[in-house]
Amino acid sequence: MSVLVHPTYFPSISHFVAMVQSDQVIFELDDNFQKQTNRNRMYIYSPNGVQLLNIPIKHSKNSFQKTKDVKIENDFNWQKQHFKSLEAAYRSSPFFEYFEDDIRPIFTKKHEFLMDLNLQTFALVSECLGVKFETLHTTEYFKEVNGVRDYRTLANGKKDASLFEEYTQVFEEKAGFLNNLSVLDLLFNEGRYALDYLKNQQLDV
């Protein structure tokens, strides 16, 4: 079965659960950008609990703007801030140093478009997990789709009620297990075992 998803910034665990359990991944490239969604944000487990990492974007004069046309505001040094936050959160995790050299370049390259960055984060995590996906891109937007599982709502974390099995997290003694963070949380804590974890979870969408 094929799944239809939005490319998001270092996607949530639920995104990757949907993708690894499918035969084909179709990326929605023709939707209108929506604020306050995971299109330009991810959530990590910081020493102080859940932390939001948000990519600043250039605002358009148009009331509607396609996500693929959204440009990143690179006047802010957001990449350095995000990587420092990841270091503070995961430096002591079992696999951060193992993957550090793989992920660091994405925080040094200046992307003009948000979509390009999001697709690169997907490709990077897929490589770290050791999994290959058959991928397609949409060329037109349809509100309703047939013949595929529509998981586009996963881009809006507030509508994602999936609960997953607990795994060991760095700061769980402080705040307990935090569910469905960015897949980076799973990757840094579980390494290549993360793929088996993703294959064994169930989505509640």
pLDDT in tens, 151-174: 999 999 777 888 999 999 999 999
Number of C-beta neighbours around residue 104 at 10 A: 11
pLDDT in tens, 60-111: 777 789 999 999 999 989 999 999 999 999 999 999 999 999 999 999 999 9
Average pLDDT of the chain? 95
Domain ranges of the chain: 2-199
- Rounded to whole angstroms, how far apart are CA atoms 147 and 151? 13
Task: List C-alpha distances in Å: 97 to 31, 128, 180, 192.
Answer: 36, 13, 22, 14
Q: Which amino acid is at 5?
A: V
pLDDT in tens, 171-181: 999 999 999 99
Tokens 């665990």 found at: 13
- Rounded to whole angstroms, how far apart are CA atoms 168 and 155? 25
